[in-house]
C-alpha cells in the first residue's frame, strides 16, 4: 500500500518535533535558523503545513539528522505532497475531516464503535443516502450524492491486496433502526453479512445485544481508533457527535476510548452469534 499523504506528513512532523525537543531547541530558534517563523515550524510538525525540499534540508541540518535520515525525511515530504483522492472533495469538508480521510486511508487497523447505526465503512449507498437526506435535509441532492460517493471511496480500504483490518462493534439498535425504510434495511443487513463472509480475516463485526448490561460506550458517540504500521506513529481517535467531529491524539484520551471499545467487545456477542443476529433481523425486514 502506498503511504497516505496525511500519514506521511504526520510522520515527518513527528520526527522533526521529536529531534528538536531531544536537542532542546525551541520552535522559535528552529524557525529563525532557517529564516522562517515559529508558527511555520509548528504547522510542519503538526502535519498541517507542507515544506519544500530546500527548507527541509536546512531544518534537517539544524537538527543534525544524518544522511540516511535526511533521505527518509525527503521521501516522507514527497509522499505528503502528492495529490490524494479526497483532495477533489476539499470544498465540501473541513480541513480536519479531510485530514481524517487521509489518516483512515493510511491506517493498518481500525477499531470502531457505532451506536444506533451501521458503521460508515460498511454502509450501502442507499443507506448512506438515507442518512444524508435525513440528517441534513438542507443538503442539495448533488452534494448528497457527492458525500455518498466519498463514503464509498473510503470503503475501498476494505478491499485490495493490503486491506485495513476492521473490528467494529455495533449496537443491536443499529441493526433495527429503520434507516431509509424496510427495503433499504433489508439490503443493508444483507450487505453486512456478505462483507463479513467475504473478508473473514480482516473484517470482524460484533453486536452488542439489548440484553447486555451497562458498559462505558453506552450512550456515547460513534468513534474510530486508528492504528498504523509504522512503530513511530501512535494511535489516533476520530469521534463523531451530532454537531461536531474531533480528531484526538492525546494519549490519555485515546486510552479511555481503547478501554471503552474493549469493554464493548466484552459485552458483545461472539462472531458467530453476531452474524446470526444480523441474519435474523435481516429476515424480519425482508
Determine the Cα–Cα distance for residues 263 and 108; give it in Å rounded to an integer.
22
Kindly give, in sequence order, each residue whose CB lies less than 8 Å from that of residue 220, ignoring residues fewer than 6 positions away.
113, 115, 260
What are the Cα distances from residue 235, in Å, to 7, 101, 107, 135, 272?
12, 15, 9, 29, 28
3-state secondary structure of 170: strand
> What are the helix (H) ranges across 48-181?
53-62, 67-80, 95-106, 125-135, 141-154, 172-176
Q: Say if residues 192 and 122 touch (Cβ distance below 8 Å).
A: yes
CATH for the stretch 87-285: 3.30.870
Q: Say if residues 232 and 223 touch (Cβ distance below 8 Å).
A: no
> What are the helix (H) ranges across 155-250?
172-176, 182-198
Each residue's pLDDT tens digit, 16-57? 999 999 999 999 999 999 999 999 999 999 998 999 999 999
Least confident of 89-98, 119-128, 239-248: 239-248
Each residue's pLDDT tens digit, 203-224? 999 999 999 998 888 878 899 9
Determine the Cα–Cα distance for residues 225 and 64; give it in Å rounded to an integer.
34
Determine the Cα–Cα distance for residues 156 and 53; give it in Å rounded to an integer.
32
Each residue's pLDDT tens digit, 149-196? 999 999 999 999 999 999 999 999 999 999 999 999 999 999 999 999
Q: Say if residues 199 and 163 touch (Cβ distance below 8 Å).
A: yes
pLDDT at res. 134: 73
CA proximity to 151, closest of 240, 258, 81, 60: 240
Given a cut of 70, whether residue 248 has pLDDT beyond it is yes
pLDDT at res. 30: 96
Determine the Cα–Cα distance for residues 18 and 26; give it in Å rounded to an integer.
11
Tell me which architecture the domain covering 5-80 has in CATH: Orthogonal Bundle (1.10)
Higher model confidence: residue 253 or residue 137? 253
Instruction: Provide the pLDDT confidence category of residue 105 given band limits of 50, 70 and 90.
Output: very high
What are the sequence ranges of the domains in the chain?
Answer: 5-80, 87-285
Q: Say if residues 279 and 268 touch (Cβ distance below 8 Å).
A: no
pLDDT at res. 135: 60
What are the Cα distances from residue 247, in Å, to 99, 244, 270?
9, 10, 30
3-state secondary structure of 223: strand
Amino acid at each position: 500500500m502506498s503511504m497516505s499523504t496525511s500519514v506521511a506528513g504526520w510522520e515527518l512532523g513527528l520526527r522533526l518535533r521529536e529531534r528538536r525537543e531531544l536537542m532542546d531547541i525551541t520552535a522559535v530558534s528552529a524557525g529563525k535558523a532557517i529564516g522562517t517563523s515559529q508558527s511555520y515550524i509548528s504547522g510542519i510538525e503538526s502535519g498541517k503545513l507542507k515544506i519544500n525540499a530546500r527548507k527541509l534540508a536546512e531544518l534537517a541540518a539544524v537538527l543534525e539528522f544524518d544522511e540516511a535520515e535526511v533521505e527518509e525525511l525527503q521521501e516522507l515530504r514527497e509522499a505528503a505532497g502528492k495529490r490524494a483522492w479526497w483532495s477533489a472533495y476539499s470544498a465540501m469538508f473541513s480541513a480536519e475531516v479531510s485530514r481524517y480521510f487521509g489518516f483512515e486511508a493510511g491506517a493498518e487497523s481500525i477499531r470502531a464503535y457505532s451506536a444506533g447505526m451501521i458503521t460508515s465503512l460498511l454502509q450501502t449507498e442507499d443507506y448512506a443516502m438515507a442518512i444524508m437526506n435525513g440528517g441534513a435535509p438542507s443538503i442539495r441532492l448533488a452534494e448528497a450524492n457527492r458525500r455518498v460517493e466519498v463514503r464509498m471511496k473510503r470503503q475501498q480500504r476494505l478491499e485490495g491486496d493490503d486491506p485495513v483490518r476492521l473490528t467494529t462493534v455495533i449496537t443491536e439498535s443499529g441493526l433495527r433502526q429503520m434507516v431509509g425504510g424496510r427495503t433499504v434495511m433489508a439490503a443493508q443487513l444483507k450487505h453486512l453479512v456478505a462483507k463479513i463472509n467475504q473478508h473473514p480475516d480482516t473484517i470482524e463485526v460484533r453486536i452488542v445485544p439489548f440484553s447486555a448490561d451497562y458498559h462505558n460506550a453506552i450512550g456515547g458517540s460513534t468513534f474510530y481508533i486508528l492504528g498504523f504500521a509504522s512503530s513511530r506513529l501512535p494511535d489516533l481517535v476520530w469521534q463523531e457527535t451530532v454537531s461536531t467531529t474531533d480528531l484526538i491524539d492525546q494519549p490519555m484520551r485515546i486510552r479511555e476510548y481503547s478501554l471503552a471499545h474493549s469493554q464493548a467487545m466484552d459485552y458483545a456477542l461472539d462472531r458467530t452469534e453476531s452474524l446470526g443476529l444480523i441474519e435474523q433481523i435481516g429476515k424480519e425486514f425482508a
